[in-house]
Amino acid sequence: MDNCTRLILEEMASGRIPEAVEAHCEYAGELERLRAYLAALRQFTLALCQGDLSQKLETYGGPVAGSLKTLQANLRHLTWQTKQIAAGDFSQRVDFMGDFSEAFNTMVEKLDAAMTNLVNLNTRDTLTGLYNRAYFDAEFGRLDHGRDFPVSIVMADLNGLKQVNDRHGHATGDVLIKKAADILKVAVRGGDMVARIGGDEFVITLPRTGVDSANVILSRIRACIAEQGGTGPEVSLAVGAATAHYSGSMQQALTEADQRMYHDKSEYKRQAAPLSPLPT
Amino acid sequence: MDVERKYRFTWEQLGDVDLGRPNLGPYAKVEVYRLMQLCVRDAIESEYGMAATDRIFYRAGYLAGEELYRNALGHITGLKDFFKKLQSVLREMGIGILRIEESDLDNGRFVITVSEDLDCSGLPETGYEICTYDEGLIAALLNSFTGKKFDVKEVDCWCTGSKACRFVAEMSE
Ligand SMILES: [Zn+2]
Classify residue B116 as left (phi > 0), alpha (psi -120 to 50) or beta.
left
Computed over every residue of chain A, the mean pLDDT equals 90
C-alpha B86, offset from chain centre: 12
Pairwise CA distance, residues B133 & A194, whole Å: 50
pLDDT digit string, tens, across residues B25-47: 999 999 999 999 999 999 999 99
Extents of the domains making up chain A: 133-271
Domain with residue B163: its CATH number is 3.30.1380.20
Q: What is the ipTM of this complex?
A: 0.79
From ligand 1's centre to the CA of B117, what distance in Å? 7
Identify the pLDDT of residue A280.
43
DSSP label at residue B159: G
Sequence-ordered strand ranges (E) for chain A: 151-158, 193-196, 201-206, 237-244
User: Cβ contacts (< 8 Å) between A64 and chain B: which residues?
Assistant: 161
Cβ-contact A83, B100 below 8 angstroms: no
Task: Look up the domain containing B30 and give its range.
Answer: 11-171
Q: Is the pLDDT of residue B139 over 80?
A: yes
Pairwise CA distance, residues B75 & A232, whole Å: 46
A190 CA: distance to closest CA in chain B (Å): 18
Pairs across A and B, CB distance < 8 A: 60
Q: Is A97 in the B-facing interface, judged by CB distances under 8 Å?
A: no
pLDDT digit string, tens, across residues A111-127: 999 988 888 888 899 89
Cβ-contact A68, A47 below 8 angstroms: no
* Residue of B84, B69, B73 whose CA lies nearest to B150: B69
B97 CA: distance to closest CA in chain A (Å): 10
For the entire predicted model, the pTM comes to 0.68
CB contact burial A202-226 (16+ within 10 A = b; e otherwise)? bbbbbbebeeeebeebbeebeebbe
> What total number of domains does chain B contain?
1
Q: Is the pLDDT of residue A53 over 60?
A: yes
Q: Check CB contact under 8 Å for B160 and A66.
A: yes
H helix intervals, B73-153: 79-92, 132-146
Pairwise CA distance, residues B124 & A128, whole Å: 63
Given the candidates 1.10.10.10, 3.20.20.70, 3.40.50.2300, 3.30.70.270, the CATH classification of the domain at A133-271 is 3.30.70.270
User: Cβ contacts (< 8 Å) between A65 and chain B: which residues?
Assistant: 161
Q: Is A245 in the B-facing interface, judged by CB distances under 8 Å?
A: no
